[in-house]
Structure formats: C-alpha cells, structure tokens
Amino acid sequence: MRVIHSRIGVATVLLALVAAACAGTSEETKAFCDSFVAAEAMFSADEPDPVAIENLLADIESGAPEDVAGDVATIMTAARTVLQTGDFSAMDSDEFKAADFAVDEYMTDECGYPTLTVTAQDPTNGSADHHEFADVPDTLPNGATTIQFVNGGGEAHELAVLRVNDGETMNITEILALPEEEAMTKASFVGGTFAMPGDENNTGAAFVDLTLGQYAFVCFVPVGATPETIPALESGEFAGGPPHFTEGMVAEFTVTG
C-alpha cells in the first residue's frame, strides 16, 4: 500500500494545518475548520492541487489571531516546503514541533465536530492477544468528524482512513490482499494519524469529512515498529514484520445519513 513515510509526513502536516485553521474566534473557527477538513482531503488525494491548497494556507495565515500568529507562520512555512519539494524534513525541527503543539492545544475544543475515540491495542504489552482497533462502531453518521486515536499498545500504530470507492463490490479485506497499485483503484486514502506507545506522544487526531459509504481504519505499520525504529521506517531501511492489518488491525464501518 501507500509508502508509509509519506503518510507519516502528510498526517503531521494535516493535523498541524487543522490546528492552525481552528485558532480564532467562534465565528472564524467554523470557516477555518471546514476549509481544513477540505484541505485534508486535498492533501490525501493521489494528485493534490497545490494552487487550491496554497489559497487555503493564505486564508489561514491572514486570519491567524495575534497570540498564535508566530506558530501559525511556522506551520505554514513547513507546509509550503512540503508542497514545493515533497521533503517532509521541515517537520522534524524543534521549532515546528513546538508550534504544532502550541496551536494544537489552542484549538483542541474549538472545531465542535462529533468525536470518535479509537484505541490501538496489541500483544506486545498484553493489551490484547492480537493487533486491533478497539471501540469502533459498526456505523457512523456522515459529516465532519474528529477521530481521537489513542495508542494503548506497545508498538507504533497508524490509523489510516480508507473509503471503498463507490460501486466497488470487493470488501476491504479483499482489497487489502491486492497489489498496491490495483488496491488503490478500489479504495481511497481520506485521512489518518499516528500515535506512539508509552506515556508521551501516545495520541493523534484526524479530522475527516465522512461521506456515505463503506470505510475501514487500517494500520500499515509493520510488526516490531517502535519509536526507536521510526526514522528507519520513514527512510525505508526498517522492514520489520508484516503490516499490522495482516495481524487483525483493520476495522470496517459504514457511514450513514
């Protein structure tokens, strides 16, 4: 499936952008939050539209409140670097991480979207007898949704949101068994986040516009991945074991009206 280090970078940019978008007054918040749910979809597309995304970045920057304007500017600079070069290393700096944290704290309760909390569990620390997503309902309502992802396991985990394409008759299990290129003609990556094990950095968030259809949360991280192996995982030097979804870490659900 999709290269994992690219998804790590995209998920980090998306979360930072949504956080930056939500930093404002109540009236500004809805417009910013909604535009960055749209931006998440743009970044997640196979061929993102850089012009449309740049227009959203400009709107965020011009409307940033004074107390987080510097943090927003830092995030915008990193986002533009990713757009222009495809190089995600701009997000590795301490400055970016501090700005991301500051703006994320500012907006945590501001978007007002319904929230779903999903927990990753695995046998590494005994939280489960196999890799799994816990607390995923069979159905969810359509519309913009905040997904809070908690890593209760002992390995690094991803929550990738896949939507089965309209008219497709194969289910997600069958699709995941296909070669990557063929699989991505039958399902689309619409958002996601990562979370590390332990007491720090063990939560992530995704802001996704759920439209009617069949979905799944999927973890593509290989068995054996830990915080220490993430740099090697991002560079492609860490092979590890099979992806977590082959060990049971896939959860299907339906989005209804």
What is the domain partition of the chain in residue ranges? Answer: 4-107, 115-256
Q: Count CA atoms within 13 Å of residue 131 on its CB side.
A: 25
Question: Which residue is it, tokens 């695995």?
Answer: 122
pLDDT, tens digit (0-9, with 9 covering 90-100), for 83-141: 888 777 777 788 987 887 676 666 567 778 888 999 999 999 888 899 999 999 999 99
**Most confidently modeled range among 17-21, 123-127, 135-139, 205-209:** 135-139
**Average pLDDT of the chain?**
82
pTM of the full structure: 0.80
Q: Tokens at residue 69, please?
A: 């304007």
Say yes or no to pLDDT of 24 above 70.
Answer: no
Q: Which helix (H) or strand (E) is 149 found in, with range? A: strand 143-151
What are the angstrom distances between the C-alpha of 142 and each of 35, 164, 223? 17, 15, 32
Residues 215 and 99 sit within 8 Å (Cβ to Cβ): no
* Mean pLDDT within 22-48: 66
Say yes or no to pLDDT of 25 above 50.
Answer: no
Pick from 37, 16, 199, 149: nearest CA to 92: 16
Q: Poorest-confidence range of 11-15, 124-128, 137-141, 226-230? A: 11-15
pLDDT confidence of residue 104 = 62
Question: Which residue is it, tokens 């860490």?
Answer: 238
| Residue 170 vs residue 111, higher pLDDT | 170
| Residue 232 vs residue 213, higher pLDDT | 213
β-pair partners for 157: 195
Taking the domain 115-256, which CATH number applies?
2.60.40.420
pLDDT band, residue 173 (cuts 50/70/90): very high
Say yes or no to pLDDT of 2 above 50.
Answer: no
Q: How many residues does the chain have?
A: 257
Strands of the sheet containing 157-164, edge to edge, are 139-141, 250-256, 213-218, 157-164, 187-195
